């Protein structure tokens, strides 16, 4: 375990120089205070979790103090936003404080979001509000606990600093951790601004630090791109299987590591709805739940375009061709497991699709359906779940297919089926209304609810005593919350 002042830095991105990022100091928050910290994320830095409660912790992550070795930088990037190219974006309110390595030899970027204005702030104030910082914190840690690759969050620091959104709110900072903060948009920036040398330097940097095994391949850059395609396909398969809607899949929000990145108006599905749009400024539904799959490929094509100086067009196209099959394989594998199946049959895809079609417009809670399906033997479980569906005849036909499929899957004890299914079907997910209740309490100075919710979500598959209220369908007020994208 380390004390806060014992972190060891190795700022590899900062060393790339001023073409890639700009030195900016964090602008401190007034009266910084700890809202919530993640013990699991603290452990990634070998930090003693009790140090989160010390005043110096709030000062460090509230922008008042810096380690001597930190080199705060705002990164420059660009990206396609809602399908159109924005020539210059960049860290408008977040700073890469530096790269810390732990005892296991892993490097973690420390990124402080809400740290004030930078040369890339455009019309923004450089701030993040408490509400959106809590949402990012809870989502990062909850996705990780579900096994969905994600950036992590160390803590949220609240303050008395006024920040103006639709109304006056309070500023906060979230400390984000990731092995890299390089986005598709970094490559797009150097490609479209015609800086081939810097672009090559960036590609070398990513290859050496994040895809070193690709060095051994005959075409290292191509191998790296393939890996990026596969990792993104796998990540999106997990989003779809667990009902996670990102909401702003712009290429500046896509990580070259294939981890979930930049949380805005995201949502987990309550009732299953393939057409669900969680971002209320997404009028055309570009980033609707089911569109996430083709958009993942669209985004990878935008990255491929930026990599044309390094890789032949034919090879890029071939690599992009991996996306759908890899997506499909991961998705089907996870959905089979969610249904309790241990073997594969050709018609399984259809079994899943038919179920989702029946769920559509039926008001079936997506998470609880699978959890309850595993509570009991198949025949009993489908009888109990039947009442949730509108098309009863349709559901009965599906249930017959499912029971027959379960029977073919092999002999199974009730206990084994439950254990296997509960290990992949969460009881607790970050429902918008749960986040909303915790945020409302935090905004009036009570952080206990955020902390409790975070605790519950770190063990989503384990039934926790006294936590029944976190495993419920939303009450009427919490069903179709509009989450502001002004964050
Ligand atoms: P986002 O929608 O959070 O992914 O942000 C898109 C771009 O806008 C990024 O370049 C952000 O840094 C920038 N941005 C978002 N909010 C602010 C803000 N309040 N102040 C400055 N820049 C911002
Ligand atoms: Mg962003």
Convert the pLDDT of each residue in 189-198 to its tens digit: 999 999 999 9
336 exposure class (CB count in 10 Å sphere: 0-12, 13-18, 19+):
buried
What does the alpha-carbon distance between residue 356 and residue 125 come to, in Å, rounded to a whole number?
A: 43
CB distance 111 to ligand 1 below 6 Å: no
Q: Does the C-beta of 129 come closer than 6 Å to ligand 1?
A: no
Dist. CA 346 → ligand 2 center (Å): 40
Cβ pair 61, 155 in contact under 8 A: yes
Rounded average pLDDT over 55-84? 98
Q: What is the pLDDT of residue 485?
A: 78
Kindly tell me if the per-residue pLDDT of 390 is higher than 80.
Answer: yes
Which residues, in sequence order, are bridge partners of residue 183?
Answer: 255
Q: Across-strand partners of 261?
A: none
pLDDT of amino acid 484: 78
CA 261 to ligand 2 center in whole angstroms: 8
Q: Which residue's CA is minimally distant from atom 17 of ligand 1?
A: 124
Q: In b/e form, how buried is each residue of 43-73, taking b as 16+ CB within 10 angstroms?
A: ebbbbeeebbeeeebbbbbbbbbbbeebbbb
Does any ligand 1 atom lie closer than 6 A to the CB of residue 27? no
If one residue of 93, 118, 169, 250 were mutated to test the ligand 1 pocket, choosing by the most ligand atoms within 8 A of its CB, it would be: 93
pLDDT in tens, 413-438: 999 999 999 999 999 999 999 999 99
CB 232 within 8 A of CB 323: yes
Alpha-carbon 479 to chain mean position = 22
Query: Is the pLDDT confidence value at 411 over 80?
Result: no
- pTM assigned to the model: 0.98
**For ligand 1, atom 16: residue with the closest CA:** 124
pLDDT of residue 177: 98
Residue 46 has pLDDT above 90, yes or no: yes
| pLDDT of 214 higher than 80 | yes
Tell me the pLDDT tens digit for each residue of 231-289.
999 999 999 999 999 999 999 999 999 999 999 999 999 999 999 999 999 999 999 99
Ligand index nearest the alpha carbon of residue 281: 1
Q: Which atom of ligand 1 sits closest to the CA of residue 127?
A: 19
- Give the Å distance between the CA of 89 and the centre of ligand 1: 8
pLDDT digits (tens, 9 = 90+) for 438-471: 999 999 999 999 999 999 999 999 999 999 999 9
Q: Is the CB of 262 under 6 A from ligand 1?
A: yes
Please determine, for residue 405, whether its predicted confidence score (pLDDT) is greater than 80: yes
Closest ligand 1 atom to the C-alpha of 252?
Answer: 4
Specify whether the backbone of 361 is left (phi greater than 0), alpha (psi in -120 to 50) or beta.
left
Catalytic machinery residues? 252
Q: Whose CA is nearest to atom 6 of ligand 1?
A: 89
Compute the average pLDDT of residues 207-223: 98
Query: By C-alpha distance, which of 304, 327, 146, 353 is closest to 236?
Result: 327
Nearest to 277 by CA among 82, 472, 80: 82
- pLDDT category at 481 given cuts 50, 70, 90 is confident
pLDDT of residue 480: 82
Q: Is 91 in the pocket of ligand 1 (CB under 6 A)?
A: yes
Q: Which ligand is nearest to the CA of 122?
A: 1
Answer yes or no: is the C-beta of 81 below 6 A from any ligand 1 atom.
no
With H, G, I as helix, E, B as strand and everything else as coil, classify residue 283.
coil
Cβ(32) – ligand 1 distance below 6 Å: no
**Ligand 1 center from residue 460 Cα (angstroms):** 31
Decide: 119 in ligand 1 pocket, CB within 6 A.
no
CA 92 to ligand 1 center in whole angstroms:
5
Closest ligand to residue 75's CA: 1
Ligand 2 centroid–CA 202 distance in Å is 19
Q: How far is the CA of 367 from the centre of ligand 2 (A)?
A: 28
pLDDT band of residue 392 (cuts 50, 70, 90) is very high
Overall average pLDDT of the 130-146 stretch: 98
Residue 152 reports pLDDT greater than 90: yes
Residue 84, pLDDT score: 98
What value does the mean pLDDT take over residues 145-160?
98
pLDDT of residue 311 exceeding 90, the answer is yes
Query: What average pLDDT is seen over the chain?
Result: 97
pLDDT above 90 (res 399): yes
Residue 412 has pLDDT above 90, yes or no: no
Task: Answer yes or no: is the C-beta of 124 below 6 A from any ligand 1 atom.
Answer: yes
CA distance 205 to 186: 12
């Amino acid at each position: 375990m380390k004390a806060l002042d014992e972190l060891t830095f190795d700022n590899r991105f900062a060393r790339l120089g001023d073409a890639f990022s700009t030195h900016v100091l964090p602008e401190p928050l007034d009266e910084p205070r700890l809202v919530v910290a993640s013990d699991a994320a603290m452990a990634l830095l070998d930090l003693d979790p009790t140090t989160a409660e010390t005043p110096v912790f709030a000062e460090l992550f509230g922008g008042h103090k810096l380690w001597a070795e930190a080199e705060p930088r705002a990164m420059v990037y660009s990206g396609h936003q809602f399908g159109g190219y924005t020539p210059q974006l960049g860290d408008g309110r977040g700073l890469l404080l530096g790269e810390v390595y732990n005892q296991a030899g892993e490097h973690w970027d420390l990124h402080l979001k809400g740290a004030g204005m930078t040369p890339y702030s455009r019309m923004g104030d450089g701030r993040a509000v408490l509400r959106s910082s809590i949402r990012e914190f809870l989502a990062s840690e909850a996705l990780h606990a579900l096994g969905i690759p994600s950036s992590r969050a160390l803590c949220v620091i609240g303050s008395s600093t006024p920040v103006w959104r639709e109304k006056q709110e309070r500023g906060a900072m979230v400390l984000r951790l990731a092995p890299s903060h390089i986005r598709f948009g970094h490559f797009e920036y150097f490609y479209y601004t015609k800086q081939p040398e810097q672009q090559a330097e960036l590609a070398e940097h990513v290859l050496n630090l994040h895809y070193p095994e690709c060095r051994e391949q005959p075409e290292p850059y191509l191998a790296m791109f393939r890996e990026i395609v596969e990792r993104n396909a796998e990540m999106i398969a997990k989003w779809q299987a667990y009902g996670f809607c990102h909401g702003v899949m712009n290429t500046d929000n896509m990580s070259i590591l294939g981890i979930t990145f930049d949380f805005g108006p995201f949502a987990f599905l309550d009732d299953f709805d393939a057409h669900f749009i969680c971002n209320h400024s997404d009028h055309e539904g570009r980033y609707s739940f089911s569109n996430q799959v083709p958009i993942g490929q669209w985004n990878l094509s935008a990255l491929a375009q930026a990599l044309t100086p390094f890789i032949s067009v034919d090879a890029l196209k071939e690599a992009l061709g991996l996306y759908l099959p890899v997506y499909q394989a991961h998705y089907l594998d996870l959905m089979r497991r969610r249904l309790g199946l241990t073997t594969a049959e050709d018609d399984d895809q259809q079994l899943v699709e038919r179920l989702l079609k029946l769920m559509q417009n039926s008001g079936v809670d997506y998470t609880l359906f699978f959890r309850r399906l595993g509570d009991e033997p198949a025949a009993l479980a489908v009888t109990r779940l039947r009442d949730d569906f509108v098309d009863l005849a349709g559901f009965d036909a599906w249930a017959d297919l499912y029971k027959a499929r379960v029977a073919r899957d092999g002999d199974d004890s009730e206990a084994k089926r439950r254990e296997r299914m509960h290990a992949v079907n969460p009881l607790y997910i970050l429902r918008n209304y749960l986040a909303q209740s915790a945020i409302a309490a935090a905004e009036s100075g009570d952080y206990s609810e955020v902390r409790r919710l975070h605790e519950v979500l770190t063990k989503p598959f384990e039934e926790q005593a006294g936590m029944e209220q976190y495993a419920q369908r939303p009450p009427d007020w919490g069903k179709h919350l509009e989450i502001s994208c002004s964050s």
